[in-house]
Amino acid sequence: MATVNEEDRVFESAAELFGLLSTPVRLKIISAVCNGERNVSELLSQIDTTQPNMSQHLSTLFRAGILSRRREGTQIYYGLQSERVAMLCRAVCTQIATELDSDDPVPQSDRLLVAGMR
Protein backbone atom coordinates (compact mmCIF):
# COMPACT_ATOMS: atom_id res chain seq x y z
CA MET A 1 0.00 0.00 0.00
CA ALA A 2 1.35 3.44 -0.93
CA THR A 3 2.21 5.83 1.83
CA VAL A 4 0.79 9.35 1.84
CA ASN A 5 4.12 10.73 0.61
CA GLU A 6 4.25 8.23 -2.27
CA GLU A 7 0.62 9.01 -3.11
CA ASP A 8 1.38 12.75 -3.06
CA ARG A 9 4.29 12.21 -5.46
CA VAL A 10 2.05 10.26 -7.82
CA PHE A 11 -0.61 12.98 -7.84
CA GLU A 12 1.96 15.76 -8.17
CA SER A 13 3.60 13.98 -11.12
CA ALA A 14 0.22 13.38 -12.77
CA ALA A 15 -0.75 17.04 -12.30
CA GLU A 16 2.56 18.14 -13.80
CA LEU A 17 2.05 15.86 -16.83
CA PHE A 18 -1.55 17.00 -17.32
CA GLY A 19 -0.32 20.60 -17.09
CA LEU A 20 2.16 19.91 -19.91
CA LEU A 21 -0.64 18.38 -21.97
CA SER A 22 -3.19 21.10 -21.22
CA THR A 23 -2.47 23.07 -24.40
CA PRO A 24 -4.17 21.97 -27.64
CA VAL A 25 -1.06 22.87 -29.67
CA ARG A 26 1.04 20.46 -27.59
CA LEU A 27 -1.48 17.66 -28.08
CA LYS A 28 -1.43 18.33 -31.83
CA ILE A 29 2.39 18.22 -31.83
CA ILE A 30 2.39 14.89 -30.00
CA SER A 31 -0.18 13.53 -32.46
CA ALA A 32 1.86 14.78 -35.43
CA VAL A 33 5.06 13.03 -34.31
CA CYS A 34 3.40 9.75 -33.26
CA ASN A 35 4.11 8.20 -36.65
CA GLY A 36 7.58 9.60 -37.20
CA GLU A 37 9.84 12.58 -36.87
CA ARG A 38 8.80 15.99 -38.17
CA ASN A 39 10.73 19.21 -38.62
CA VAL A 40 9.30 22.61 -37.67
CA SER A 41 8.17 23.37 -41.23
CA GLU A 42 6.25 20.11 -41.42
CA LEU A 43 4.65 20.75 -38.05
CA LEU A 44 3.68 24.30 -39.04
CA SER A 45 2.00 22.96 -42.18
CA GLN A 46 -0.16 20.69 -39.99
CA ILE A 47 -0.77 22.93 -36.98
CA ASP A 48 -2.17 26.44 -37.17
CA THR A 49 0.17 28.52 -35.03
CA THR A 50 3.07 30.90 -35.42
CA GLN A 51 6.69 29.76 -35.71
CA PRO A 52 7.72 31.40 -32.39
CA ASN A 53 4.76 29.77 -30.60
CA MET A 54 5.57 26.38 -32.16
CA SER A 55 9.22 26.68 -31.09
CA GLN A 56 8.20 27.52 -27.53
CA HIS A 57 5.92 24.46 -27.28
CA LEU A 58 8.53 22.18 -28.88
CA SER A 59 11.13 23.40 -26.41
CA THR A 60 8.80 22.79 -23.45
CA LEU A 61 7.96 19.26 -24.62
CA PHE A 62 11.65 18.52 -25.28
CA ARG A 63 12.76 19.76 -21.84
CA ALA A 64 10.04 17.62 -20.23
CA GLY A 65 11.37 14.50 -21.97
CA ILE A 66 8.26 14.00 -24.10
CA LEU A 67 10.00 14.80 -27.40
CA SER A 68 13.43 13.95 -28.74
CA ARG A 69 15.24 16.08 -31.27
CA ARG A 70 18.08 15.66 -33.70
CA ARG A 71 19.79 17.96 -36.18
CA GLU A 72 20.20 17.07 -39.83
CA GLY A 73 21.97 19.87 -41.68
CA THR A 74 20.03 23.02 -40.92
CA GLN A 75 16.86 21.17 -39.93
CA ILE A 76 15.89 20.00 -36.45
CA TYR A 77 13.64 16.96 -36.35
CA TYR A 78 11.38 16.22 -33.40
CA GLY A 79 10.21 12.74 -32.50
CA LEU A 80 8.37 11.04 -29.71
CA GLN A 81 10.56 10.27 -26.71
CA SER A 82 7.77 9.03 -24.42
CA GLU A 83 5.47 6.36 -25.82
CA ARG A 84 3.59 6.35 -22.49
CA VAL A 85 2.58 9.97 -23.02
CA ALA A 86 1.40 9.17 -26.56
CA MET A 87 -0.67 6.26 -25.25
CA LEU A 88 -2.27 8.51 -22.64
CA CYS A 89 -3.06 11.20 -25.22
CA ARG A 90 -4.51 8.64 -27.63
CA ALA A 91 -6.71 7.10 -24.95
CA VAL A 92 -8.12 10.42 -23.75
CA CYS A 93 -8.56 11.96 -27.23
CA THR A 94 -10.14 8.77 -28.61
CA GLN A 95 -12.62 8.65 -25.72
CA ILE A 96 -13.56 12.31 -26.17
CA ALA A 97 -13.94 11.87 -29.95
CA THR A 98 -16.22 8.88 -29.30
CA GLU A 99 -18.35 10.97 -26.94
CA LEU A 100 -18.58 13.81 -29.45
CA ASP A 101 -19.53 11.49 -32.33
CA SER A 102 -21.92 9.26 -30.42
CA ASP A 103 -25.67 9.48 -30.90
CA ASP A 104 -26.09 7.44 -27.73
CA PRO A 105 -25.63 9.56 -24.66
CA VAL A 106 -22.69 8.53 -22.51
CA PRO A 107 -23.73 8.37 -18.84
CA GLN A 108 -22.65 11.50 -16.99
CA SER A 109 -20.48 9.46 -14.63
CA ASP A 110 -18.51 7.99 -17.57
CA ARG A 111 -17.91 11.22 -19.49
CA LEU A 112 -14.53 12.81 -20.03
CA LEU A 113 -16.09 15.89 -21.63
CA VAL A 114 -16.53 18.85 -19.34
CA ALA A 115 -20.17 19.82 -18.93
CA GLY A 116 -21.20 22.51 -21.40
CA MET A 117 -18.49 21.70 -23.97
CA ARG A 118 -20.87 19.97 -26.37
Q: How far out from the chain centre does Cα 41 lie? A: 19
Does the structure show a pLDDT above 60 at 116? no
Domain boundaries, the chain: 16-110
Task: List strand residue ranges (DSSP E) for 36-111, in order.
Answer: 38-39, 67-72, 75-80
Query: Which pLDDT belongs to residue 92?
Result: 84
Fold exhibited by the domain 16-110: Arc Repressor Mutant, subunit A (1.10.10)
Say how many CA atoms lie within 13 Å of 17 toward its Cβ: 14
Q: What is the DSSP string of 7-21?
A: HHHHHHHHHHHHHHT
With bands split at pLDDT 50, 70 and 90, how would you rate the model's confidence at 33? very high
pLDDT digits (tens, 9 = 90+) for 61-91: 999 999 999 999 999 999 999 888 888 888 8
| Neighbouring residues of 58: CB distance < 8 A, sequence distance ≥ 6 | 29, 40, 43, 67, 69, 78
pLDDT digits (tens, 9 = 90+) for 102-115: 776 666 666 665 55
- Model pTM? 0.78
